[in-house]
Amino acid sequence: MTRDQLETRQIPLYLVTVVAAIALGLLAPRVGDRLETLVTPAIAVLMYAMFLQIPFLDLRQSLANRRFIAALLLANFVLVPLLVWAITRPLTAHPALLIGALLVLLTPCIDYVVVFTHLGRGDARSTLAATPLLLVLQLLLLPLYLSLMLDDGHDVALSVAPFVEAFVLLIVLPLALAVLSHLGARRARPIERWCTAWGWMPVPAMALVLLAVIGSQIATLAQDAARLLPLLPVYLGFMLIAPCLGWGCARLLQLPVEASRSVSFSAATRNSLVVLPLALALPEELRALAAAAVICQTLVELLGELIYIRLIPTLVR
């Protein structure tokens, strides 16, 4: 099997992984509990594998399209937060659900969005090149957004430490290692071969993350299914409106068709797997339900992406 064949078949692979993770988490809860210890390291491996695919040393040319970057920033950090604030107001009576929904909906995806953009005939290369900027901005702005949107009379204790730890372990360390790997690959053949071999890793790493995340949390999600019902209209509303906001930003800035599709995918796809450790670091009374809210969004989004890759290329022409 070639890398292209593996990437072409990754969606069925992810769906099989999700089904296996659900079965494992429900039928073998002890195994599911142990999978929780794999979540953070698996995400770190995924981030390193994804960062290795980004041409960091040639980013100036990739980021030269200022209109594309402006559309991404306008969609993800202005319009989408306004949408999230509006559609999560019904959750103010449920603090754990509210913070879980805010964590996941305020953070644009930087990993498998590239895959879905490619499948949806968007400009995947430009999306990939923009991921470092999206990552840094979302982690800088997320505490600000949370402080504004949780200021509704509910006293939700948030510690800065989990955010800093997640930023260092899941972003800074993999990013630094990827940049060093790129530099080394230009000077040493073994490091170049190392980087080439890691080109195979994003798909299996994503499958491992899905297995660890869903397998470790699905029992809690099933147990709290009735309490999670208020999230469904929020997530479905986001799934319907967010890509339209991305498309509107692209039209406003007069982007070409492929770039317009990319902005639509970016606005609609969220960073659920990276923010899960933040949800798990919340106070005891919020942790389980907030994490279940994040996982619930992941399941809804995966189904939504299968619709997007058919619908967005048809509508955005």
- What does the alpha-carbon distance between residue 107 and residue 99 come to, in Å, rounded to a whole number? 13
Written as one string, the DSSP assignment of 103-164 is HHHTSB-SSHHHHHHHHTTS-HHHHHHHHHHHHHHHHHHHHHHHHHHTTTT------HHHHH
CA 215 and chain centroid, separation: 18
Which domains are present in the chain?
55-186+224-315 (1.20.1530.20)
Cα pseudo-dihedral 14, 113, 242, 68, rounded to 10:
-170
Residue 260, judged by CB atoms within 10 A of its CB (0-12, 13-18, 19+), counts as buried
pLDDT of residue 112: 75
Q: What is the mean pLDDT of each run of 10 residues along the chain (317 residues)?
A: 74 85 87 82 84 70 80 96 96 91 92 81 84 82 88 55 70 85 89 89 86 84 85 96 96 93 95 78 81 88 86 85
For residues 250 and 263, is the Cβ–Cβ distance under 8 A?
yes
pLDDT of residue 3: 76
* Predicted TM-score of the model (pTM): 0.81
- What does the alpha-carbon distance between residue 82 and residue 193 come to, in Å, rounded to a whole number? 45
pLDDT of residue 170: 75
Q: Is 254 left (phi over 0), alpha (psi -120 to 50) or beta?
A: left
